[in-house]
Amino acid sequence: MSEGILGFIFPNEFHVHWSFMIVLYPYITGIIAGAFIMSSLYHVFNIKALKPVSRFSLIFAFAFWTCCTLPLLNHLGHPERAFNMLITPSPTSAMAGFGYIYGSYGLLLIGEILLVYRKTLVDLYHKSSGFLKKIYWLLTFGVTEVTPQSLEADKKVIKFLAAIGIPWACLLHGYVGFIFGGVKAVHWWFTPLMPVVFLLSASVSGIAGIVLLYVLIMKYRGEEPDINCLKTCVKFLWGFFILDLTMELLDIGAHAYLRVEHWHVVAGLLAGPLNFTFWKLQMGVFSLIPFLLLAWLSLFNVSDSTLKFFAPLVSLMILIQVILMRWNVVIGGQLISKSGRGYTHFHLEFLGKEGLLVGLIILALPLVVLYVLSKIFPLWYPAKPEAQAS
């Protein structure tokens, strides 16, 4: 028997087809959806404490949106064929629908950013010169003056776009869970809770990413983060994490309680190949510890310095928890033999087209895009977040 194979497994099942790139793809799209929801909490639900990160969340989401298809394109043998699903779409294909959901959501995101930043862009147009002045002229569509009436109209449109953007962002990522949950051949995926789990973990990862980068960027700029904003972010992070963790455990509980014919296969998977990454890492270190830390930060009156230290730390742990969840779902589901009598192993390469190094580069690219965008769209303008205009 070949090395690395346990039990009985068909020879053609040794290869895991959906590899690390397919782990990164739902991870990045989830961050987009979560960050947009974070922005909408201010623009739609008028949670004023989140004002310092409301515009930052939009640019953050757009930066990740520009890179979210890179894992898929890298995974494809002929990435240029990706356009075929737009040219010759199939109404019964969930993947074909993704192109339209992704494209329309991007247009909505761009429109909201231009409206939210319109007053800032006009101000920067009058203050800049040369090539940058031309860029700001294009971004304002040549309208270089604002009035109280136009700003009031912009606010109404922004609220409308943010409102319809919430279900659109949920659709963008929820459909990923739908694709996995609809695969009957993989017992670990086939559950109606899969879209819900993916969506809630997306909200958690987006909020965690905002908190982590907000504190780090403020530290880099030599400024203090808004404590009220940070406390509110932590409370929302804890709330969404409670729901996310509950649904993940309910998913396992549903499998265990129903005990359908494939339960023994799933139980063997959790006790065997996924024992370390699921129980010890995802549910243990990176779920239990962040849960307790978030409860402490949310329920007790901790000092500002304590909050500024633990908020980004727990956010980083949650980001790791979510990518572990993606790994255990995407890779873990493929470790089950279709014969139902064994499991295979997946060894992540460091180099190679779909190796760890390429994955880290793809994860870093949205941060590079965010840095470039910040040179055109100031993340905080004026400099002090609390003085930022609406």
pLDDT at 350 over 60: yes
pLDDT at 283 over 60: yes
**Three-state secondary structure call for residue 199:** helix
Helix-, strand-, coil-residue percentages of the chain, each rounded to 5: 75, 0, 25
What is the identity of the amino acid at 114?
Answer: L
pLDDT for the residue numbered 146: 87
Q: Could you tell me which of 58, 57, 71, 59 has the C-alpha nearest to residue 28? A: 71
Q: Distance between CA 206 and CA 319 in Å, rounded?
A: 9
pLDDT for the residue numbered 287: 95
pLDDT for the residue numbered 387: 42
Q: How confident is the model at residue 291 (pLDDT cuts 50, 70, 90)?
A: very high
pLDDT for the residue numbered 91: 72
pLDDT for the residue numbered 175: 77
pLDDT at 186 over 90: no
pLDDT for the residue numbered 294: 96
Q: Distance between CA 64 and CA 314 in Å, rounded?
A: 21
Q: Model confidence over 239-277: pLDDT tens digits? A: 999 999 999 998 888 878 877 767 788 888 888 889 999
State mean pLDDT over 134-149. 90
Q: How confident is the model at residue 388 (pLDDT cuts 50, 70, 90)?
A: very low
Q: Which tokens belong to 97?
A: 């629908």
Q: Model confidence over 352-376: pLDDT tens digits? A: 888 999 999 999 999 999 999 999 9
Percentage of the chain lying above the pLDDT 70 cut: 91
Helices (H) and strands (E) in the chain, counts: 14, 2
Q: How confident is the model at residue 185 (pLDDT cuts 50, 70, 90)?
A: low
Q: How confident is the model at residue 147 (pLDDT cuts 50, 70, 90)?
A: confident
pLDDT at 176 over 90: no
More confident residue, 280 or 347: 280
State mean pLDDT over 59-69. 94
Q: Model confidence over 149-170: pLDDT tens digits? A: 988 998 999 999 999 988 888 8
pLDDT at 325 over 90: yes
pLDDT at 1 over 70: no
Q: Distance between CA 126 and CA 231 in Å, rounded?
A: 36
Name the DSSP letter for residue 299: H
- Identify the weakest region by mean pLDDT among 5-9, 91-95, 176-180: 5-9
User: CB of 159 within 8 A of CB of 43?
Assistant: yes
pLDDT at 4 over 80: no
User: CB of 260 within 8 A of CB of 234?
Assistant: no
**Three-state secondary structure call for residue 184:** coil
Q: How confident is the model at residue 96 (pLDDT cuts 50, 70, 90)?
A: confident
Q: How confident is the model at residue 180 (pLDDT cuts 50, 70, 90)?
A: confident
pLDDT at 17 over 90: no
Q: Could you tell me which of 108, 91, 96 has the C-alpha nearest to residue 32? A: 108
More confident residue, 92 or 5: 92
pLDDT for the residue numbered 120: 92
pLDDT for the residue numbered 385: 43
Q: How confident is the model at residue 194 (pLDDT cuts 50, 70, 90)?
A: confident
**Three-state secondary structure call for residue 269:** helix
Q: How confident is the model at residue 289 (pLDDT cuts 50, 70, 90)?
A: very high
How high is the mean pLDDT of the chain?
Answer: 86
What is the identity of the amino acid at 243?
Answer: L
